[in-house]
Structure 1
């Protein structure tokens, strides 16, 4: 015990002075040495590269399984005090960098979405200095990493960092925060000297047609929720210069019934909204909870949560096999709807917390079908437990809780994603990003931890040093429009990488004597398998012609792209020529004569240069002394 406390104390001292460390420069770095990884490389062990200024985290995998290594890659946005150049990033399932981009401003919420049958990367960039939300825009990149759309909020507002969802109808759902005047008398009294009282950060979402930029729907929280539903202390806020963030919307999605599901952090609620009128259909959790908790309060005690999503039981055919056999695959039957709600339960806000660790939650909610007329329940401002529920037709129970063995408590951010199985008979898996703490984990549907990957040390947890708002896994095929990058190093190696390319399996080194050169003039020198983001090709033992390049090939040897040419210098061409002469059966006497001729030519050139230099120096000396030369006459 004392040894562990001593190590923790020493680590705290060390990490206080060293924030990040390039482990790629360490000759003896061992990613399997957990103690060294935690103690010797700062909060953020990272790797740098020869061919780019980009860096990427050095991952530490604590739990691993073949089930995690498929065609899906990890999408996240590492940032924090320890990261000098934050931005969106893609890594493979082993933690090797695939693509990264430096952005002007903070980047959040990198994901893959479909628009008009094509896949796009989407992410937010903007100003997040307003604590907990932001003002910026969303960007859409095609598979060549070219920007094709910029999505902004309408009505004079800015897009918030929390959410962009592209619907199958080609619309964009995005969250918005607006400074808005609202009576706060229930929560605090204002002093006479306080200017412009009674202002909130109101939460909205907008649905926008991407093609026409037309606003189709807008919803405002203060029109439908009471301000005193909040669990956030107002403190001294509530003025125009310091509005009160009372609701804090952080996710929104649209279902097949054209209704909306939203998550609000500061009211501890998941709210289901009529897609036509904007009226509330039901509220899960918080002071206004409408559901009978069949787990004695544990299904509705989530707090400060993120990323609420609706799912069908058919995504988990093994977990719900009996239910599907009895009741069929439909969500709605006989006027009753049953479906799953997943979310990331932070259970924490700053130092306040309701549980000892954050968790992923899968809940089953049962309620009267939304298209049937239902009276709106009165607002009850005391959180209901199982015995207090207003209507037994509304019920909720826990299906699974996804708990990490190290118990990270994430006071902000986080995500939970259901990963569809390739086999319709098998359950989906669950992928959890821990937001404020630098790790993401993959679970089987039953809650078994399959893989656990950390992209910063555990000592960074709870400090804001390294974090990622969300983390996702998607299949993605990247075909960059920019060529591969190749660099000739002084250590006798050529380094090559291709930022964003996902299909490269190997590299072919080629050379030619002259440039420009026809394609058939390039000769293959050697082939090597791709290793990680950047591959080193050793050329110390190779006799190369003057110009070289590196070609990227796929698993079938088909060329995907080629680097720009590298000029090795005239000496490389000469050395190669001499070698070739010696290897094509040239008579020794002819070779000796050729060498002698070259030596004589070099000697004559040297003597001419020497005499010219001497003559010019003599001329300058005589001119300084007024001596006329015959050529001056």
Structure 2
């Protein structure tokens, strides 16, 4: 699961990866990443990348920053933001890589605007919802769209209220997702207009509207409220949408829903094909949320402001659900994706003596470790294999260090399911647990040739997360993160569907 918990009750807001049983795989905070919104696994140049938004949040519910692309070794291979927008950076809401290696991203711009027609000030301020398509390789914008050029504020449902000032502009449109179809046109979600707009990719004109005051479609599938994450499917004849059903000041429905809507362009009808509702209880989501249609047709849903995520089958029946927090814990989107991680840092290894001698090992971001092998050595000539322990489903693995045959040094080796070496930890002193040699050199016990990772040929050093003190910190976080980040252990509730 790819999710970025945030909120005041979250111990550390950052991007995280969990496996299918809810075990922590990667703690992005350990690699220096902070609160994120747009965060997912995508493809860039036919290779998988983690796309992570970072930047400044605005009190009005938008942001300005940039999107980083991390490869499978967690190295940054791209940095994408807006182009030629006078210092306005990429917004928090959207970042999607197209099949042409371009990126779709949103932006918000405050503009002075006469608001007297909307019970505001003549010298008021309005937020325009914008999006750009960016060439990732060059950073150049290929297309820019501004909501105020095409959508009159009267089309939307949110009045200025106490906003409309320079300090807090009126967010009349609130763009929160952008998709692109096979014809080169764009599907744009406006939360405050309750509408998904289909935009001409050559001139920016609106081709049709789904939902809202001026929907081009008829039928029950055309109704949703304060929605997020509108996406095309089935050769652009279906649209998935997360229907929030509410915002913080207004409730329009009994519950949030994950929707799959069939579009008939001949008679311009929208038909509700699939409706998925929360497993826990029927309630709206005042903000955030997404629907991910997976390859098998299942729906992965992140319930936004509610700290839930889960999977529904193709007819909307819940298959499993998980709660990842209590109180003010939320996540903008949640995805279920294939990710193979091969960190270039060394595994973190620490020894503690509390009556018995225990070794603890973890490797932040490593997804392919099947077995940890404990090694012992007394000199520079050889190591002895002492134990093998399964690492499946465990962020941290521990060993009991045999007291009957103590060694001068201890080390661990990560093995994949085919028994190939993925990497070695530092050597740890058997007497006091301190690092005595960087693991990459494999002295005093193992030749450097045997230390080469099958995942990457990097020459890792003792920097990164390989010191004894960092190992202890990693071990503590690995053992307790699922509790401390939200005050409860990530709880998965599985249901067998017959």
* Fold equivalence (TM over 0.5): yes
For 1:253-295, what per-residue CA distance to the aligned partner results, in whole angstroms no more than 9, with x for missing partners? Answer: 11111110010100000011111111111001111211111x3
Report the counterpart of residue 11 of structure 2 in structure 1. Answer: 84
Residue 186 of structure 1 aligns to a residue whose secondary structure is helix
Report the counterpart of residue 373 of structure 1 in structure 2. Answer: none
Which of 238, 248, 253 matches 2:164?
238
Report the counterpart of residue 413 of structure 1 in structure 2. Answer: 288
The Cα RMSD (Å) is 1.7
Report the counterpart of residue 217 of structure 1 in structure 2. Answer: 143
Corresponding position: 1:433 with 2:302: yes
Displacement, 1:540? 4.5
Corresponding position: 1:565 with 2:492: no
**Whose helix fraction is larger, Structure 1's or Structure 2's?**
1
Displacement, 1:84? 3.2
Report the counterpart of residue 478 of structure 2 in structure 1. Answer: none
Which of 321, 324, 345 matches 1:452?
321
Corresponding position: 1:138 with 2:67: yes
Contact 1:138 1:152 in 2 (8 A): yes
Q: Distance in 2 between matches of 1:523 and 1:468?
A: 46
| Structural mapping, 1:112-151, within 5 Å | 112-151=41-80
- Greater C-alpha Rg: 1
Query: Normalized against structure 1, the TM-score is what?
Result: 0.65
Which of 177, 198, 204 matches 1:272?
198
Residue 122 of structure 1 aligns to a residue whose secondary structure is strand
Query: Normalized against structure 2, the TM-score is what?
Result: 0.83
Which of 464, 486, 490 matches 2:349?
486
Which of 221, 229, 240 matches 1:307?
229
Report the counterpart of residue 167 of structure 1 in structure 2. Answer: 98
Report the counterpart of residue 551 of structure 1 in structure 2. Answer: 413
Matched positions, count = 426
Report the counterpart of residue 356 of structure 1 in structure 2. Answer: 254
Report the counterpart of residue 153 of structure 1 in structure 2. Answer: 82
Q: Distance in 2 between matches of 1:430 and 1:189?
A: 42
Displacement, 1:168? 1.1
Report the counterpart of residue 186 of structure 1 in structure 2. Answer: 117
Residue 154 of structure 2 aligns to a residue whose secondary structure is helix
Report the counterpart of residue 375 of structure 2 in structure 1. Answer: 510
Unaligned runs of 5+ in 2: 435-498
Corresponding position: 1:527 with 2:458: no
Displacement, 1:116? 0.9
Report the counterpart of residue 241 of structure 2 in structure 1. Answer: 343
Report the counterpart of residue 398 of structure 1 in structure 2. Answer: 272
Displacement, 1:82? 1.1
Q: Distance in 2 between matches of 1:149 and 1:263?
A: 26
Report the counterpart of residue 43 of structure 1 in structure 2. Answer: none
Residues 285 and 513 (structure 1 numbering): CA distance in 2 closer, same or farther, change over 3 Å?
same
Displacement, 1:570? 8.7
Q: Distance in 1 between matches of 2:433 and 2:246?
A: 66
Q: Distance in 1 between matches of 2:432 and 2:256?
A: 63
Q: Distance in 2 between matches of 1:171 and 1:281?
A: 23
Residue 159 of structure 1 aligns to a residue whose secondary structure is coil
Which of 107, 112, 128 matches 1:176?
107
Q: Distance in 2 between matches of 1:497 and 1:530?
A: 9
Unaligned runs of 5+ in 1: 1-73, 192-196, 313-330, 332-337, 369-392, 422-427, 573-633
Q: Distance in 1 between matches of 2:134 and 2:6?
A: 29
Contact 1:106 1:128 in 2 (8 A): no
For 1:512-557, what per-residue CA distance to the aligned partner results, in whole angstroms no more than 9, with x for missing partners? Answer: 113xx35xx1221111111510011111445231011000001121
Residue 148 of structure 2 aligns to a residue whose secondary structure is helix
Corresponding position: 1:292 with 2:218: yes
Residue 346 of structure 2 aligns to a residue whose secondary structure is coil
